[in-house]
Amino acid sequence: MSYSIIKLYYGDYGEAKNGAADISTNNTPKEEWPLWEIFIRSKQGLDHKHAGSLHAADAAMAIENARDVYTRRMEGVSIWAVESKYIHASVPEEAGSLYDPANDKAYRHPTFYDLPDEVKYM
């Protein structure tokens, strides 16, 4: 048995047919918009950093959505959007062979130098 509940909110009067804020329990499958990964540059000269992901119908909408979702508190000056399916990721099962060998090679870290106090940000 399926129920359909239309919940009316303020502003919906007379608009039920138009579907304003129509919160019905019909579980009709919807086509989802593709997922996009968003990269934000917070200041000129800095790298774009991964900020999160969101759904959008195309690249233009992804940029606009990113602007609204991730930069409304002045977090950014530039946005990159990449459709998530184009991101290639390393496989977690291979983590051992990929990263562990770096563990015992302390000599790769430049920790054996004495840095002058004047040098910051090292």
Partner 1 sequence: MTTLNKINYLLHLADNALIIGHRCSEWCGHGPVLEQDIAISNIALDYIGQARNFYQYAAEIINSENDPSLGFVLPATEDSLAYLRDTPDFKNNLIVELPNGDWAVTTLRLFLFSTYQFYLYNQLVNDADTQLSAIAEKSLKEVTYHLRWSGDWVIRLGDGTEESKLKIEKAIEYLWPYTGEMFINNDDSISSDWNKKLSSIFHDATLTIPAKSWMQEGGLKGIHTEHLGYILAEMQYLQRAYPNSEW
d(CA 96, CA 67): 38
The DSSP code sequence of 48-71 is: EEEEEEEE-SSHHHHHHHHHHHHS
List binders of partner 1 among 43-62 (CB under 8 A): 54-57, 60-61
Binders of partner 1 among residues 86 to 105 (CB under 8 A) are none
Strands (DSSP E) contained in 9-100 are 35-41, 48-55, 78-83
> Taking CB under 8 A as the rule, which mask of x and - marks residues 15-34 in contact with partner 1?
x--xxxx-x---------x-
Residues in contact with partner 1 by the rule CB under 8 A: 9-15, 18-21, 23, 33, 54-57, 60-61, 64-65, 67-69, 72
